[in-house]
Structure 1
Amino acid sequence: MQEARGEWTASVAKIVERRREPVVVQTLRSTAAATLAYVVALHLSPEPAPLTAPLTALLVVQVTLYSTITTAIRRVNSVVVGVVIAIGFSSLVGLTWWSLGLIILASLAVGHLVRVSEFVPEVAISAMLVLGVTRVGDTAWARVLETLIGAVVGLACNLVLAPPVWVGVAGESIEDLARRVRQLMLRIGEEAAGHTPFRIAAERLHEARQLDHDIAGVDAALRQAEDSLKLNPRVREGLLHRVVLRTGLDTLEICTVVLRVLARSLTDLAKEREPQPLFEPQAGAVLEELLSEVADAIVSFAVLVTTDVSQSAASAEARLSAELTTAAATRDKLAQLFLDEVQRDASQWQLHGSVLTEVNRIIDELDTEHRTRKLLEELDRCAAEERERRPRLTRMRRRLRLPRPLRRDRNRAAASGRSK
């Protein structure tokens, strides 16, 4: 009985967990919005089957509020442009094969001019549907009305069924990437401490190259999180969240690139020294210890950039600083052992130096002071881009002598606080 209850509890927990997945959330919200749009259109549209309204709601409702608003604007814009083109053509010519081709060509060209992005075909579709009916005026404006109904209902559903903030999902993806990097670095360290055949070293190099695909997936999750932070009233410091996560992923991407170069150096060294071990026993053991410490620091860095609570962030930063200090001491020890080994046999001194250099690059990239500089530089860059996008608002502030937005100052202070 207890076993069955445990299985039922686990199933319920799995369902609750899956409801947070983007596919599940998008399906439920899109279904509700399309159904509601159709019900509203039945009462307001003169058409007997106003399917344009649910179709518009289905296309408008997105995973994030920002994408929903931008999609709604482009969708309505595309339909209105298509209707206007169809009305203009209907007053001049009827529906023939050449007029159909001409209206499609004109609609697609105008669609690119008005910048409706993925809804360029919608301009031509709206024009064809309106041109093919007898009462052009009534059908045209009914289609516009249904489109507006679908867009309004889609936006309303986003206010009632608020889209989630996907920062947590992006943070989990970043931490998962860091753990995969750690596992690979630990395997490389264990094999470098002993006898590593060239074939095994080449396999590790291939695994390091596969991390690029993992980064692409994390980048997609982070872009979704960045969209969910835009125009979201539940988020107070959206810019700071975006910058912290983005710079954190950039650092991990650099670490994976350096790890790939390190794996290549060890592969070349294994090819040169086979069947002998890569390093002397003592140097190999210290290298394994160093890679283990650096691997732990990478995970601590990922936890730091994905932690929102200041107390937890301070604890993660203290742990990261301690791990980097330990790794730096082990690096110095390994450098002396490499120097002694090179003085006895200088045949592979370039590869020994490359291994030490790449590990040192990862340590420097994870350094907290380096991270603080990157955060502040990114905040300044975002502020400069905002001024370029909105020059009129910037000039108005200067004329009125209003203070700069305090939010960016709070972001800079928070960024400095999370990195000290």
Structure 2
Amino acid sequence: MPEMLSTLTRIAGRRREPVAVQALRSTAAAVISYVIALRLSSEPAPLTAPLTALLVVQVTLYSTLTTGIRRVNSVVAGVLIAIGFSALVGLTWWSLGLVILASLLVGHLVRVDEFVPEVAISAMLVLGVTQVADTAWDRVLETLIGAAVGMLVNLLVAPPVWVGPASAAITDLAARMSRLLEHIGEEPLGPAKVEQAAAHLHEARRLDNDIALVDASLRQAEDSLRLNPRVKEGLLSRLVLRTGLDTLEICAVVLRVACRTLTDLAKARPDSPLFTAEVRAALREVLAHTARAVESFAQLITAQVSANAEKAEARLAAELVVARASRDRFADLLLARIGEDKAQWQLQGALLAEIDRVLDELGVDKRSQRLLEELDRHTRTRRSRRLASRLPGRRRDGGGR
């Protein structure tokens, strides 16, 4: 019985997941558009309507509106091309080639973006039937039905908000960065240290790919917040996540440089430890606190409740205070031994500067400043667009001379 209740609870919870919501919305839109097309179209199986509905009902309302318009334009353009060719030459191998070439060129001209192949597909399907005119307008009708139903479903059934998956991706990215920082502090002794330093460098380079994936997830979340009636403060939510990811991206770049610095240090001293035991312990301590600060920063930018945000900000501030104190102790130890290791003082200083940069980027004041700058930039952009829309059109003669 407890297992059954747990299963039912899990199923009920998945009903609210964005993937499940999107699947139900797409299925409903396809079925409704097919039923309508059966009554209005002369085709026995008007599958263009549900196909269009599936393509139009994207994961966000913003992309649905833009995709629906491009989809309809692509189909209408292909149908008109097919009607013109069928009236002149009919279907032959060379006319088929001309239709495909003309459709692809027209698709770029009418700017249907990813639906350029759909122009050629529509033209070929219409050109290949006997009753060209009837089939052509039936295809246009089915496309309009599918697009209209897809848009209507998104208007009546609010699309899912993808902030949760984007926040989870950001948190996971911060966790990987935190693990890398902890691994950097674990310097092995002997020849293996060069290999491990190089492994850390490869791990840091992989963060670039991870950031690209998180960026794609965040762009989807940003689109889901646009024109969505379920979201009241979409702009602020978008900017908090976007500026937070920008900060983590900068930190990832600095971490890669730090790993490069440690790799060079390891190659320069293959037979001796990079640092003394005391300095190594201080470096491990500052990296451990920096790792916790990175995770606290991710918790701060992904917090959805103000109380949780305040706790996350306090936790981040406390971790940064301890991390900077550890950094100062590490710097003092390096400075005290600068005369003993003059050959690598540039690399050691570079490592210290890279730690400073990460701590500075994670600072609460830096985050607030970046967020305010983005809000100000968006406000200015919106104000400029409103002013531009109210101004009369420019005269072509350059001022009425």
Shift of 1:86: 2.4
- Give the % identical residues: 64
Shift of 1:56: 0.8
In structure 2, what is the equivalent of residue 401 of structure 1? none
Cα 1:387–1:136 change in 2 (3 A) is farther
Alignment-mate amino acid for residue 259 of structure 1: L
Cα 1:133–1:68 change in 2 (3 A) is same
Alignment-mate amino acid for residue 267 of structure 1: T
Alignment-mate amino acid for residue 133 of structure 1: V
In structure 2, what is the equivalent of residue 415 of structure 1? none
Listed as ranges, the matches of 1:14-413 within 5 Å are 14-16=10-12, 18-19=14-15, 23-191=19-187, 197-386=193-382, 392-393=388-389, 395=391
Q: Distance in 2 between matches of 1:365 and 1:115?
A: 40
Shift of 1:18: 5.0
- 1:335-390: per-residue Cα shift (whole Å, max 9, x none)? 11100111233121112111111100001111122112211222233344446666
Shift of 1:191: 2.4
Greater mean deviation of Cα atoms: 16-25 or 149-158: 16-25
Alignment-mate amino acid for residue 99 of structure 1: S
Q: Distance in 1 between matches of 2:116 and 2:387?
A: 29
Q: What's the RMSD between the two structures over aligned residues?
A: 2.2
Shift of 1:246: 0.8
Q: Distance in 1 between matches of 2:322 and 2:37?
A: 67
Count residues with an aligned counterpart.
391
Contact residue 25 and residue 63 of structure 1 kept, 8 A: no
SS at the partner of 1:348? helix
Alignment-mate amino acid for residue 290 of structure 1: V
Q: Distance in 2 between matches of 1:236 and 1:305?
A: 18
Shift of 1:14: 4.7
Alignment-mate amino acid for residue 117 of structure 1: D
Shift of 1:305: 0.8
In structure 2, what is the equivalent of residue 405 of structure 1? none
Cα 1:14–1:376 change in 2 (3 A) is same
- 1:197-238: per-residue Cα shift (whole Å, max 9, x none)? 212222122211111222122111111101101111111221
SS at the partner of 1:344? coil
Contact residue 197 and residue 275 of structure 1 kept, 8 A: no
SS at the partner of 1:342? coil
Contact residue 205 and residue 264 of structure 1 kept, 8 A: yes
Q: Distance in 2 between matches of 1:133 and 1:20?
A: 44
Alignment-mate amino acid for residue 162 of structure 2: W
- 1:236-285: per-residue Cα shift (whole Å, max 9, x none)? 22111111111101111111111111112112212222332221111111
Cα 1:12–1:276 change in 2 (3 A) is farther
Q: Distance in 1 between matches of 2:163 and 2:363?
A: 24
Alignment-mate amino acid for residue 264 of structure 2: D
Q: Distance in 1 between matches of 2:134 and 2:339?
A: 90
Unaligned runs of 5+ in 2: 393-401
TM-score (norm 1): 0.87
Cα 1:215–1:14 change in 2 (3 A) is farther
Greater mean deviation of Cα atoms: 182-191 or 134-143: 134-143
Contact residue 286 and residue 330 of structure 1 kept, 8 A: yes
Q: Distance in 2 between matches of 1:392 and 1:123?
A: 34
Unaligned runs of 5+ in 1: 397-420
SS at the partner of 2:338? helix
Greater mean deviation of Cα atoms: 319-328 or 167-176: 319-328
